[in-house]
Structure formats: C-alpha cells, structure tokens
Chain A
Amino acid sequence: MKKKRILLVDDEVGFTRLLKLNLEQAANYEVRVENWAERALNAAREFRPDLVLLDVIMPCMVGTDVAARFKADANLKSTPILYLSAVGARRSPEGHNGMVDDFSCIAKPASFEDLIDGIERNLPAERHTSFGGNSISHPAPDSATSLRG
C-alpha cells in the first residue's frame, strides 16, 4: 500500500521531529519536515505531498503566504492544506467553522488523535485508506477549531 505523503511545515524543530516519528510509526504516512517556511515550496515541488500540514505563525513568512505560493503553482494548487495554529482557541464554541482561507485549521496543542483525524478528513477522497495497527478513535466533530486573534 502506497504511503500517504505529508509535508510538515513548522519552525518548531522538536514538534516536527516527534510528529514525523509518530506519524511514520503509528500510521501509514511518509513525512517530510521543512522547518523554514520559505523553503516549503521547493520542498513540496520535490516531495509531491498528498497533504501539507502548515503552521500559521512562522518567522520570515506566515503560513497563509506559503499557501498563496502553493495556490499559484500549477502542480501544487490542488494539494490540500491543513493549518496548525498556536494562536487558536481549542474546542471553542466557535469551533464548527474553524477555517483559515479555504482550509481547515487545528489549534495547537492538539492530541495526536486529533491530528490524525484532521489529516484523514482533509486528504483527497480517492486517496482515503484505512490503516491498521493502532486504532485511532475519531473525536467529536467540534474538535475542528477556529483561528482566533
């Protein structure tokens, strides 16, 4: 079974290392990490991800600017993006429409299960595959969160 490719763009080195480790160990993903926002586009061109996990607040370039570059690229414009935001408020009452631009957003800190759930929900439909081994429980729909502030 072909592994799903996730490009993880976040300046938090510890977080990206651990998330990559978890995603690759616990689920059937292939993860590439990019800690520099301005290198994300090149990394994506090389890696051809199925989904981009994209931090919002990063030094030098914010996530939404990175997303704009992806949209402008013919080969990457349809790649789904799932934002990660440390300025969001998790499980807020407004959580039902947690969107940044046209993409979903997960507020940090999110549990590993919530992250898997978010990834699975945002992968293109035809690429959905079930993964064995660890059973991942899907939390309530309100785990989608909004970007605030």
Chain B
Amino acid sequence: MKVAAIMDNPVAGAEEMEEKLIKVLLVESDRRFTRYLQESLSGLTSSRVDLFSSENLEEAISCLRENTLDAALLDLDLSDSEGISTFARFHEAAPGLPTVILTGSDHQAVALEAVRQGAQDYLVNSKVDGKILSRVIRYAIEGKQNEMKLVAANRDLLKTNHDLARSEETLRRALEELRASHEQLKAAQLQLIQAEKLECVGTLAAGVAHEVKNPLQTILMGLAFLSRNAPAEDKDFFMVLGDMRDAVKRADAIVRDLLYLSAAKQMEMKEDDINAVIAHSLCFVNYDLTRSRVRVVCDLAKNLPTVRLDRPKMDQVFINLFMNAIHAMPTGGELHLRTRLARWPEGNPGDATATKRFEAGDPIVLIEIEDTGTGIPAEKLSRIFEPFFTTKPSGVGTGLGLPVSKQIVDLHGGTIQIGPGSRRGARVTLTLKVEQE
C-alpha cells in the first residue's frame, strides 16, 4: 500500500532534505491508525513523503527488498510477530534503515529495549501527530546517518588501529633484528680487535724475542759466575742471586708466550685421541701438581672418536689450562678432567664465532677442566681472553696463556668457554669438532 503525503519540515538546517522525497515504510496492523497517520502527514505542506504501508512483518520485509527506503515506522505487535523480536527480525532485514518504533503506552519498556538494540527512537501511539512524526522521522534519518558515519569511522579507526598494530609489530621485529645484528656486529668487532691485538703482539714478539733473550742469557751466565764466587757465609748474597734468577725466568716466560702467539698459526693437523693428548699434557705439569698437592680426578669417556688436531699446540693449551688451575689452588685441591661425546646444542651457546663453526646437532668432543680453586670473579670473566689481562698476582702469570689457548682452539675450529665451577673454582669447557663420515 502506497500513500503520498506532504511532510512538514521541523528540522532547522536540514536544507538538502527539504527538496528530497522521503520514502517511509509504515508497518502497522491497525488500519485506522495507519489512516490517521496518513492524514496527519498529508496535512503538512512543507515536505513530501512517499509512505509505504505494510500490515505485517512478512509484507514489510518484502517491501524492504523491493524499495529503496529512507526510514521505517514499526509497530511491534503485528499479526505475524510480537514484541522485541519484531524489531530484531526487521532490523536484521534492514540494519541500515533508520527505524522508529511505534508503541502503545504500556509497551514502553520493550520500545526502550528496541532503541538499545538499534532503533532510532520510539513514539507512543497516543501522542503521535503529523508534526511529531515528521520531526521524529527526520531526526531518525539524521541520527542513522550519523550512526552510520560513526560506524564507518569506527571501522576505519579499527582498520587503522589494526594497520598500526601490524606496523608496530613489523617495527618491533625490525628493531629486534637490528638489535641482534648490532650485537653480532659488536661481537665481531670485539673479536676483530682481539685478533688484531694478537696479530700485533705476535709480530712484535718475533722481533723483540731475539733482542730480549740474548741479554737474559748474559745475565744468567753472570749469575752462574757470581753464584760460584759468592762468599759462602753470606746468605743475602744467595737470596739476591735467587731473586735475579727468578726475574730472568719471568722475563723469559713472557717472551716465550709472545712467541707462541706469533707461531700459533702454523698448524700440523693429524687425527688424534683427545684422551691421549690430555694424558700427555698432564706429564708436563706432574711436578707442579705434586708440589701444590693437587689431586687429578679423571672421567674420560672410552671409545671417543678421533679429532683432527695439532698435538704440540693442543698440549700447550692443556698445559696452560692445567697450570692456571694449579695456580688457583695454592693450598691444594682437585683438578677434574672430563671428556665425552656430545652434540652441539640448539640455541646459541658460546661466542658469536661458535655459531659459524657449529650447527645444532653437530657431533663434538666436549672437554671439561674444572678446579676447586679460587675461581674467577664474574666481572673479570669477560676479559680473560684479552692479551696481558691476568687475575694472577704479579710475576705468576704473563696474561698471555688464555689468549694463546683461545687462538689455538680457534685455529682448530673449536670453542673455549670459561665460567664458574659446579661448586667453586672455575670450569673450562672446550669443544672440538668430530669429522663426520
């Protein structure tokens, strides 16, 4: 049913709507009330309205499908639907259509619920006339338009938010990658500096060694002469000679370690049994072990695969590490030596270069050297591979033992790490690659 009516325009400023023909669907089961509304609307002169009328919900929904409408007036009590479900079904069919509820005064609570669910407004039947109806319809249209704009803006906002979150995530990942590569760069730079330092020291050492060792030799010969010709009763004389001899030994030790640095790069690799290398190296420190009352506790795995190594240089590494352990236990203790076959673990243990050498699952021979000595203070752990850095008292260490050891292990493609022992003391962990067949 279609009725043409003219609607008054009570909305100030809604100029574009004055000229526009407004298409309104009235869903009302009471024909008399429908007629009353038609008449009320036709009594107005300022605006035109196309009024479509339906008596039940089914008819109304088919009308929605056939026409493009601007608003709807919906009675909730129809022949085929009652109460709030009428609005729910109608709204489902036309969610974007501004809908005003028409209700009897005793249904106000239901009408309010409909407004909560999306209706623009509600009118109490008894108080409706053309002017009110016209105004409410216009408000409803305006309101719905604003609501739709709001929904669209909200949708845009949500999308922007989503995009922002994604950008943030991308940014966070980029930052993480940046941080990681910065760390890697720092580590690489540190290693480069370390390597350069060693290179410099090595080059210098080769040149200086000859010039230092010759005078030391002359001093030793002088000491031999003086010892023989010393007055037998003068104890101070012999003490002085002893101190001088010790000083020569120290100077010689430093030059010797410096020379190792310069010579470490020439490697002669052969397949060898790491347990045999350890046993061989132990022979060199036997005297020092006994003198310092250090007990050696071995837990060496049997049937370990061979590893490619330069025997004299690995001997040197082990002697350095054993001597460090002995120096850390001046009043005696235990030196634990363990070997076993293992696999390079997941994640990133060890220094940055270790990850380049090993992949997770690579077979490795793991060597642990643990003492029960004084240990290394945590703040010094990061510096122990620096040339000339020593935790030992003056005259005991040259500060080159660990840099030399690390250089040798690096040249073997292995890793060396030092940390606290299981109870006290320090633990050195060496890993060497097992060649896979």
Contacts and interface: CB of A to CB of B under 8 A. Distances in A.
Interface of A: 12, 14-15, 18-19, 21-22, 25-26, 57, 84, 86-87, 89-90, 92-94, 107-112, 134, 142, 148-149
Given A15-B214, A19-B221, A108-B213, A87 B259 contact: yes
Contacts of B315: 93
Given A92-B316, A93-B315, A148-B259, A86 B224 contact: no
B217 interface: yes
B312 A111 contact: no
A112 B209 contact: no
A21 B224 CA distance: 10
B210 A18 contact: no
Interface residues of B, number: 29
Contacts of A89: 256, 259-260, 263
A149 B263 contact: yes
Nearest to B258: A89
Contacts of A15: 214, 217-218, 221
Contacts of A148: 259, 263
A93 B228 contact: no
A18 B316 contact: no
11 contacts: A22-B224, A86-B213, A87-B206, A87-B210, A92-B312, A93-B315, A108-B213, A108-B214, A109-B213, A109-B248, A112-B220
A25 B225 CA distance: 9
Looking at A14, A21, A109, A134, the one whose CB has the most chain B CB atoms below 10 A away is A109
A93 B281 contact: yes
B434 interface: no
Interface string B208-250: 0110011111111110110010000000000000000000100
A22 B228 contact: yes
B319 interface: yes
Interface string B248-269: 1000100010011011000000
Contact of A109 (B216, B260, B262, B316): B216
Contact of B228 (A19, A26, A57, A94): A26
Contact of B221 (A22, A93, A134, A142): A22
A54 to B, nearest CB: 14
A149 B228 contact: no
Nearest to B213: A86
Interface string B397-413: 00000000000000000
B388 interface: no
A94 B221 CA distance: 25
Nearest to B314: A93
Nearest to A21: B225
Contact of B284 (A18, A93, A107): A93
A108 B216 CA distance: 8
A86 to B, nearest CB: 4
A92 B319 CA distance: 10
Given A22-B225, A93-B316, A110 B220 contact: yes
A86 B210 contact: yes
B214 A18 contact: no
Given A90-B252, A93-B319, A94-B312, A108 B263 contact: no
Contacts of B215: 14
Contacts of B319: 93
B112 to A, nearest CB: 96
Contacts of B221: 15, 18-19, 21-22, 112
B312 A57 contact: no
B263 A57 contact: no
Given A87-B210, A111-B224, 12 more contacts: A14-B215, A15-B214, A22-B224, A25-B228, A26-B224, A86-B209, A89-B260, A89-B263, A93-B312, A148-B259, A148-B263, A149-B209
Pick the 5 closest A-B CB pairs, nearest first.
A18-B221, A112-B224, A86-B213, A93-B315, A109-B216
A57 B210 contact: yes
Given A93-B312, A149-B263, A109 B210 contact: no
Contact of B256 (A12, A22, A90, A112): A90
